[in-house]
């Protein structure tokens, strides 16, 4: 055999490796090159490694798949839990918004209903206030006008903000500059605050209406009582002929149609005004006014020295010194029963005021009324003169009760006492 030189890697081999295979009588042999042995070993190791890896994969594959599936399931469950939490939070926010919206709509509807009710109440109250302003004394009427002027309207620069309450119903309501609508939370809070402000304003207006009606009722009752108490010494009582406002209508029992506190107060105010109007009408039918305002009294009622004959005589009236041609005024409402020249009275006017009361105006230079004519308090009856049994221009004035002369001074004193109430 030849000597084979080996590569520098494996060193020098003098003889090649020989593999001998014997099978019966047959013998085979072949030489193995170093590179062939290296290749074969490498392939064997590779095959062994591949086999081990494949075997390991087959052994651990189920565990890997199970772990991966479990991990994916945990991730999916976490996502689902997060989505469920977000949905719950969204539902909660949506429900809250719907609830806030319903509450807001309900509040607005309630305010609109209250505004409507207050507007209806004002329509009922307006004519009563007009009556009160013309019936009550000037001071109370002035207070009423000042109270009505204080009403105002709720205003807002935000077109999307609730406003527009009727100026008759609402009072002054302080509002701030509305926030931009892009900030929903602040806008909601702002609208809620405005609604609360309007609610408080409506409640204040309603309370003020009630208190005002109560105050007017008290004032009317007090004024009426003051007039009636002042008229008591005259012996005059209210009769069915007094001027009263008409009343009537279908019968509706309170149990079937409950009366609101406002209607109760309004009815009480109406009764008070009717009482006051009746008292004033009664006072205007009693001769308590001055027939010659600003003129001095020259002779009083009762015994005096007669100016013509100088003897003591009974003077049935009182004399007012006045210039010729001055106006003579009716001292109360009534009907003229005489307007003619009457003996010592000269040109005389007699007025029947009812309740047994009558007045006489004598010595006039001119008569401007006629018998049967209805006159009112303050109407001009004629002009001052000196006709009849007279020494000069003056007005002879008498007050008679049931045909008998009474001192006019007591009636004039009553007139001065209740003048402010009339």
Sign of CA dihedral 339, 343, 346, 348: negative
HSE, CB side, 13 Å, CA atoms: give it for residue 237: 2
Residue 205: Cβ-neighbour burial (10 angstroms; 0-12, 13-18, 19+): buried
Residues 234 and 276 in one domain: yes
From 245-254, 305-314, 325-334, 411-420, the region with the lowest mean pLDDT = 245-254
- Residue 26 belongs to some domain of the structure: no
Query: 10 Å Cβ neighbour count for 24?
Result: 5
pLDDT digits over 231-266, tens only?
888 877 665 334 444 555 555 455 555 567 888 888
pLDDT digits over 315-335, tens only?
889 999 988 999 999 999 999
Residues 307 and 277 in one domain: no
Residues 135 and 191 in one domain: yes
Mean pLDDT value across residues 39-59: 84
- Residue 397 belongs to some domain of the structure: yes
Are 411 and 357 a contacting pair, CB within 8 Å? no
Residue indicated by tokens 């002009």: 383
Structure token digits, residue 87: 């949905």
Residue indicated by tokens 């008070």: 272
Residues 234 and 352 in one domain: no
**For residue 355, is pLDDT > 60?**
yes
Residues 182 and 314 in one domain: no
- Residue 272 belongs to some domain of the structure: yes
What confidence category does residue 116 fall into, taking pLDDT thresholds of 50, 70 and 90? confident
Are 362 and 347 a contacting pair, CB within 8 Å? yes
Quick one: CA torsion of 159, 163, 165, 167, rounded to 10 degrees?
-70
**What is the model's pLDDT at position 20?**
76
| Residue 185 lies in domain | 116-239+257-284
**What is the model's pLDDT at position 147?**
52
Residues 125 and 209 in one domain: yes
Give the span between the Cα atoms of 99 and 196, in whole angstroms: 17
Residues 334 and 204 in one domain: no
**What is the model's pLDDT at position 21?**
76
Give the span between the Cα atoms of 63 and 71, in whole angstroms: 12
- Residue 49 belongs to some domain of the structure: no
- Residue 35 belongs to some domain of the structure: no
Residues 182 and 271 in one domain: yes
**For residue 104, is pLDDT > 60?**
yes
- Residue 226 belongs to some domain of the structure: yes
pLDDT digits over 119-173, tens only?
888 888 888 888 888 777 766 655 555 455 444 434 434 434 444 444 444 444 4
Residues 305 and 271 in one domain: no
Residues 200 and 263 in one domain: yes
Angle between helices 408-418 and 184-231 (to 10 degrees): 170
Residues 122 and 269 in one domain: yes
Q: What is the pTM of this model?
A: 0.59
From 45-54, 145-154, 350-359, the region with the lowest mean pLDDT = 145-154
Higher pLDDT, 203 or 345: 345
Give the span between the Cα atoms of 420 and 243, in whole angstroms: 20
Q: What is the chain's mean pLDDT, rounded?
A: 78
Instruction: Domain count for the chain, please give it.
Output: 2
**What is the model's pLDDT at position 411?**
93
**Residue at which a domain ends, from 216, 249, 284:** 284
CATH number of the domain at 336, please: 2.70.70.10
From 6-15, 23-32, 83-92, the region with the lowest mean pLDDT = 6-15
Residue indicated by tokens 């010729």: 324
- Residue 244 belongs to some domain of the structure: no
**What is the model's pLDDT at position 244?**
47
- Residue 34 belongs to some domain of the structure: no
From 46-50, 151-155, 237-241, 285-289, the region with the lowest mean pLDDT = 151-155
From 8-17, 59-68, 187-196, 289-298, the region with the lowest mean pLDDT = 8-17
Residues in the chain: 422
Mean pLDDT value across residues 396-406: 93
């Amino acid at each position: 055999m030849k000597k084979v030189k080996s590569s520098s890697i494996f060193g020098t081999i003098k003889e090649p490796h020989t593999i001998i295979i014997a099978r019966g009588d047959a013998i085979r042999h072949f030489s193995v090159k170093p590179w062939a042995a290296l290749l074969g070993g490498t392939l064997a190791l590779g095959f062994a490694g591949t086999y081990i890896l494949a075997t390991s994969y087959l052994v651990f594959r189920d565990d890997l798949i199970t772990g991966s599936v479990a991990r994916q399931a945990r991730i999916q469950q976490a996502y689902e839990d997060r989505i469920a939490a977000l949905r719950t939070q969204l539902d909660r926010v949506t429900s809250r918004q719907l609830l806030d919206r319903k509450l807001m709509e309900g509040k607005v509807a309630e305010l609109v209903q209250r505004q409507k009710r207050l507007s209806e109440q004002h329509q009922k109250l307006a004519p009563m206030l007009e009556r009160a302003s013309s019936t009550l004394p000037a001071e109370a009427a002035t207070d009423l006008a000042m109270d009505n002027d204080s009403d105002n309207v709720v205003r807002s620069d935000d077109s999307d903000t609730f406003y527009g309450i009727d100026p008759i119903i609402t009072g002054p309501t302080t509002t701030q500059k509305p926030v931009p609508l892009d900030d929903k939370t602040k806008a909601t809070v702002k609208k809620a605050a405005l609604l609360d402000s309007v609610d408080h304003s409506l409640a204040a207006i309603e309370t003020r209406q009630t208190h005002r009606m109560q105050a007017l009722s008290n004032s009317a009752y007090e004024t009426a009582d003051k007039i009636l108490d002042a008229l008591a010494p005259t012996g005059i009582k209210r009769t069915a002929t007094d001027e009263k406002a008409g009343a009537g209508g279908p019968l509706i029992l309170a149990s079937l149609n409950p009366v609101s506190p406002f209607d109760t107060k309004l009815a009480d105010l109406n009764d008070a005004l009717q009482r006051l109007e009746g008292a004033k009408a009664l006072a205007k039918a009693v001769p308590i006014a001055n027939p010659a305002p600003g003129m001095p009294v020259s002779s009083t009622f009762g015994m005096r020295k007669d100016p013509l004959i100088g003897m003591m005589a009974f003077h049935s009236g009182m004399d007012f010194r006045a210039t010729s041609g001055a106006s003579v005024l009716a001292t109360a409402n009534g009907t003229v029963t005489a307007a003619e020249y009457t003996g010592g009275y000269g040109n005389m006017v007699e007025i029947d005021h009812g309740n047994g009361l009558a007045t006489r105006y004598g010595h006039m230079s001119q008569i401007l009324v006629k018998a049967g004519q209805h006159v009112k308090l303050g109407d001009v009856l004629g002009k001052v003169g000196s006709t009849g049994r007279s020494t000069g221009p003056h007005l002879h004035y008498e007050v008679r009760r049931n045909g008998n002369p009474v001192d006019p001074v007591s009636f004039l004193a009553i007139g001065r006492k209740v003048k402010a109430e009339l």
